[in-house]
């Protein structure tokens, strides 16, 4: 009994921490619809800033509380700055572009934090009152954790009062429901959004500082916390504070008891919970169905056959690509090979995200399944490379269909997060099924046979397969199937009324997308000679997302342009500077501001405007 009690209290403390982490994110999303990828970075700044501030203050409870608030205010100021300087300029860009901008912020803040605070983990020395414990049934429970258990609900109460009992809160809720109407009534949206963003940043900053008695400030916090934050927000229902609180409780408690029953399950547990919740409740625990966002007509203009100039350009690039091995050395060829694979990977995501309207945060799942299937085929079954590539493509496509059956019922960020949950579960399997996959040590020796082993031969093989696959995807999206897919995206009811089966169309798109990503993964396996769980990591999925958004989601050439730019930039920066994250982040931010429709999207719009003029 005693164990259950202690584990429950511990779970409640974890839940409180999770809620503090997620509350700010859900507030920001609820009002501004910004998927704030930099929330974890603000949380990390809270931990580091809190370390600096709390180290300088007297070690009494009152000063501790003051230090937490001060840290929150400092991070709120930074959050406000990010909103005013960056996000405010791109609210009218297509959905998810803000995600790209905040990803740039993540990269910049990683390097800035390293520069300011150095590489070592910083831990706050605990005064005796922070080391105290209560003895409950013979077991000790840290007093600070009991305090945390109370802080979560207290913050929930304060936020609830703020949103329901103040004029500001009323306006914010109104803006959440209908931005245009609130603007029409003369309320400055700018100010409202900035204050909401600052509030979210305050919560992140204070939450980060509140971890200091239990944990160090370290450079991994941003990425480990952002995923937890998203999980809580989505399980709770986007924008729902009560939901986020419930989700925190659910996850905190299940985690505390989960490791008692099944200690090995730590890698996938939260994602399994998220997957189950989303399958049972497609809008999270307390979320409402997302209101249809009024779309600008232009952003969803039909994708037709390429214009002549684009065709000629594409043909020229293709010719140059074919003769490239005659002109460049093996290293550049390996970079070009990577770019080609990245283009296919991005195109695979674009197929579901653009015409299909299904954003995915877990595209790396298909990529990784393709890579592992190819590795199994050639290593365990001793099949030739062709069979390996085919196995990768088919395995990914097949599993995409099976998982897709659950995915197609969801939409928007919920769908994206369910794909993430699935990808994380696949990742955990790759990580933990050591006998089968080699765990994180991976599968080695997946090199191509002699005829394809030279950089040039493998490059040509990759070029042929990637170009064919991309053209095939493109072609399929211009068949009646592709148009049906888009119709179902733009107007579900009208599409259903003319007899289109939306879910079935989306399922087919998922299968295609999965197969294409699987081919990209299989090619990567042979090009790198080895397969690791990192192929399925969240970072890999984010890469795909970044490439599609950077290029422009509403054009067919967008993902290709995005893949070339992103891969080229990353590869080049890694060679020339230690501060590649800072530079890459700044470049992404500049590109987002300069090309709010993505590079290809903005160029296309400008050229069309030019023609009209």
The nearer residue to another protein, 188 or 224, going by C-beta atoms, is: 224
The CB-of-560 to another protein minimum distance in angstroms stands at 20
Site for another protein in 417-436 (CB under 8 A): 431-432, 434
**Candidate list 325, 359, 368, 518; residue touching another protein; CB under 8 A:** 325
* Closest distance to another protein from the beta carbon of 347 (Å): 19
Distance CA 51, CA 221 (A): 14
Q: How far is CA 519 from CA 122, 326, 399, 450, in A?
A: 43, 26, 13, 20
- 222 binds another protein, rule: CB under 8 A: no
- Residue-wise over 579-593: b if at least 16 C-beta within 10 A, else e? bbbbbbbbbbbebbe
Q: Min. distance of Cβ 584 from another protein in angstroms?
A: 10
Helix (H) or strand (E) segment spanning residue 115? helix 97-117
Q: Which of 114, 174, 306, 310 binds another protein (CB under 8 A)?
A: 114
Minimal distance, residue 141 CB to another protein, in Å: 7
Distances (CA, A) of 235 to 25, 35, 249, 276, 587: 13, 15, 11, 9, 33
Nearer to another protein, 213 or 502 (CB): 213
Contact 91, 32 (CB under 8 A): yes
CB of 40 to another protein, least distance (A): 12
**CA dihedral in degrees (90, 94, 99, 104; nearest 10)?**
-50
Q: Nearest distance from residue 439's CB to another protein, in Å?
A: 5
Using CB under 8 A, which of 168, 214, 587, 593 touches another protein? Answer: 214
The answer to whether residue 158 forms part of the interface with another protein (CB under 8 A) is no
Using the rule CB under 8 A, give the single segment among 9-17, 164-172, 465-473, 512-520 that binds another protein: 9-17
Single out the segment in contact with another protein by CB under 8 A; choices: 3-11, 180-188, 358-366, 404-412. Answer: 3-11
Which of 55, 60, 120, 295 is close enough to bind another protein by CB under 8 A? 120
Buried b (16+ CB within 10 A) or exposed e, 492-516: beebeeeebebeebbbbbbbbbbbb
Q: Which long-range contacts (CB under 8 A, 24 or more apart) does 275-278 make?
A: 275/406, 275/418, 275/421, 275/422, 275/425, 277/235, 277/247, 277/250, 278/234, 278/235, 278/410, 278/414, 278/417, 278/418, 278/421
At its nearest, how many Å lie between another protein and the CB of residue 124? 9
Site for another protein in 370-409 (CB under 8 A): none
DSSP state of 307: P
Of 399, 386, 430, nearest in space to 537 by CA: 430
Residues 6+ apart with CB under 8 A from 501: none
Tell me how far, at minimum, the Cβ of 595 lies from another protein, in Å. 25
Of 83 and 145, nearer to another protein (C-beta) is 145
Q: According to CB under 8 A, which residues from 501 to 530 bind another protein?
A: 524, 528-530
Judged by CB under 8 A, the residue of 52, 195, 454, 478 near another protein is 454
Q: Which of 79, 355, 442, 552 binds another protein (CB under 8 A)?
A: 442
Binding mask 332-361 for another protein (x = CB under 8 A): --xx--x-----------------------
Q: Which of residues 241-260 bind another protein (CB under 8 A)?
A: 255-256, 259-260
Stated as kind and residue range, the H or E segment containing 135 is strand 133-136
DSSP state of 304: -
**Where in 130-149 is the site for another protein (CB under 8 A)?**
131-133, 139-142, 144-145
Complex with another protein: residue 202 or 458, whichever CB lies closer: 458
Q: Which of residues 36 and 537 has its CB atom nearest to another protein in the complex?
A: 537
Minimum distance from CB of 606 to another protein (Å)? 34
179 in contact with another protein (CB under 8 A): no
Query: What ranges in 328-383 are assigned the alpha helix state H?
Result: 330-353, 364-379
Cβ proximity of 601 and 555 under 8 Å = yes
Query: For another protein, which is the closer residue by CB, 260 or 293?
Result: 260
What are the two backbone dihedrals, phi and then psi, of residue 226, each rounded to the nearest 5 degrees? -65, -35
Of residues 22 through 81, those in contact with another protein by CB under 8 A are: none
Site track 578-597 with another protein (rule: CB under 8 A), x = hit = x-xx----------------
Stretch binding another protein (CB under 8 A), from 56-64, 115-123, 163-171, 202-210: 115-123
Identified binder of another protein from the candidate list 37, 103, 163, 532, rule CB under 8 A: 532
Query: Which among 473, 463, 486 is positioned nearest to 558, based on CA atoms?
Result: 473
Query: Which C-beta is closer to another protein: that of 191 or that of 331?
Result: 331
Contact between 528 and 69 (Cβ < 8 Å): no
Place of tokens 């994602």: 271
Question: Is there binding between residue 455 and another protein (CB under 8 A)?
Answer: yes
Dist. CA 600–CA 610, nearest whole Å: 15
Task: Tell me if 50 sits within 8 A of 209, measured CB to CB.
Answer: yes
- The reply on whether position 264 binds another protein by CB under 8 A is yes
For another protein, the binding residue among 88, 571, 587, 593 (CB under 8 A) is 571
Residue 189 sits in the site that holds another protein (CB under 8 A): no
Task: Name which of 215 and 467 has its Cβ closer to another protein.
Answer: 215
Q: How many residues bind another protein (CB under 8 A)?
A: 85
The interface region with another protein, picked from 190-198, 263-271, 276-284, 474-482 by CB under 8 A, is 263-271
What's the rounded Cα separation, in Å, for the pair 535 and 371? Answer: 8
C-alpha angle with apex 172: 169 to 176, nearest 5 degrees?
140
* Shortest CB 338 distance to another protein, Å: 7
Which of 56, 92, 119, 292 forms a contact with another protein (CB under 8 A)?
119
- In the complex with another protein, the residue whose CB is nearer, 242 or 439, is 439
Residue 126 contacts another protein per CB under 8 A: yes
Tally Cβ neighbours within 10 Å of residue 224: 13
Identify the CA nearest to 208 among candidates 464, 476, 18, 452: 18
Distance of closest approach, residue 344 Cβ to another protein, in angstroms: 15
CA separation, residue 55 to residues 64, 74, 203, 606 (Å): 10, 16, 20, 53
Q: CA 457 to CA 378: how far, in whole Å?
A: 19
């Amino acid at each position: 009994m005693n164990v259950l009690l202690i584990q429950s209290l511990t779970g409640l403390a974890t839940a409180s921490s999770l809620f503090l982490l997620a509350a700010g994110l859900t507030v920001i999303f609820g009002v501004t619809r910004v998927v704030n990828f930099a929330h974890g970075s603000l949380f990390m700044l809270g931990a580091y800033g809190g370390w600096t501030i709390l180290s300088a203050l007297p070690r009494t409870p009152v000063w501790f509380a003051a230090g937490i608030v001060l840290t929150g205010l400092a991070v709120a100021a930074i959050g406000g700055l990010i909103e005013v300087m960056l996000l405010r300029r791109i609210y009218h860009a297509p959905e998810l572009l803000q995600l790209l901008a905040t990803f740039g912020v993540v990269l910049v803040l990683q390097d800035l934090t390293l520069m300011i605070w150095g590489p070592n983990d910083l831990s706050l020395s605990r005064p005796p009152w922070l080391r105290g414990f209560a003895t409950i049934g013979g077991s000790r429970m840290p007093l600070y954790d009991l305090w945390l258990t109370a802080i979560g609900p207290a913050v929930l109460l304060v936020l609830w009062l703020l949103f329901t009992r103040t004029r500001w809160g009323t306006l914010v809720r109104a803006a959440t429901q209908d931005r245009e109407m609130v603007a029409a009534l003369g309320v400055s949206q700018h100010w409202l959004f900035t204050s909401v963003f600052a509030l979210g940043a305050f919560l992140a900053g204070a939450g980060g500082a509140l971890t200091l008695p239990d944990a160090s400030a370290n450079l991994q916090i941003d990425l480990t916390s952002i995923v937890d934050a998203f999980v809580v927000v989505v399980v709770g229902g986007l924008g729902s504070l009560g939901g986020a609180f419930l989700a925190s409780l659910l996850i905190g408690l299940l985690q505390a008891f989960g490791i008692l029953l099944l200690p090995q399950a730590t890698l996938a547990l939260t994602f399994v919970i998220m997957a189950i919740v989303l399958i049972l409740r497609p809008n999270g625990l307390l979320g409402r169905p997302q209101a249809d966002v009024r779309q600008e007509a232009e952003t969803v203009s039909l994708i037709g056959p390429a214009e002549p100039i684009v065709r000629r350009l594409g043909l020229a690039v293709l010719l140059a690509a074919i003769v490239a091995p005659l002109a460049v050395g093996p290293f550049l060829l390996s970079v070009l090979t990577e770019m080609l694979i990245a283009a296919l990977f991005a195109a695979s995501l674009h197929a579901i995200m653009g015409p299909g309207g299904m954003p995915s945060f877990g595209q790396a799942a298909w990529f990784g399944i393709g890579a592992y299937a190819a590795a199994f085929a050639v290593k365990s079954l001793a099949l030739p490379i062709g069979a390996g590539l085919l196995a990768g493509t088919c395995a990914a496509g097949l599993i995409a269909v099976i998982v897709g059956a659950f995915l197609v019922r969801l939409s928007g960020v919920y769908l994206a997060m369910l794909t993430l949950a699935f990808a994380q579960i696949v990742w955990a399997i790759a990580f933990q099924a050591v006998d089968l996959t080699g765990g994180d040590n991976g599968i080695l020796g997946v090199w191509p046979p002699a005829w394809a082993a030279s950089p040039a031969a493998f490059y040509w093989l990759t070029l042929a397969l990637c170009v064919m696959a991309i053209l095939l995807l493109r072609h399929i999206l211009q068949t009646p199937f592709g148009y049906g897919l888009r119709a179902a995206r733009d107007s579900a009811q009208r599409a259903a009324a003319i007899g289109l089966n939306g879910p079935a169309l989306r399922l087919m798109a998922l299968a295609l997308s999965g197969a294409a990503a699987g081919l990209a993964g299989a090619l990567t396996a042979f090009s790198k000679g080895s397969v690791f769980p990192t192929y399925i990591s969240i970072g890999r999925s984010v890469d795909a997302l970044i490439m599609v958004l950077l290029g422009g989601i509403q054009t067919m050439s967008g993902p290709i342009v995005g893949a070339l730019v992103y891969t080229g930039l990353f590869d080049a920066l890694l060679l020339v500077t230690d501060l590649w994250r800072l530079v890459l982040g700044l470049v992404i931010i500049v590109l987002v501001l300069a090309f709010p429709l993505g590079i290809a999207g903005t160029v296309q719009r400008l050229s069309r405007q030019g023609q009209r003029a």
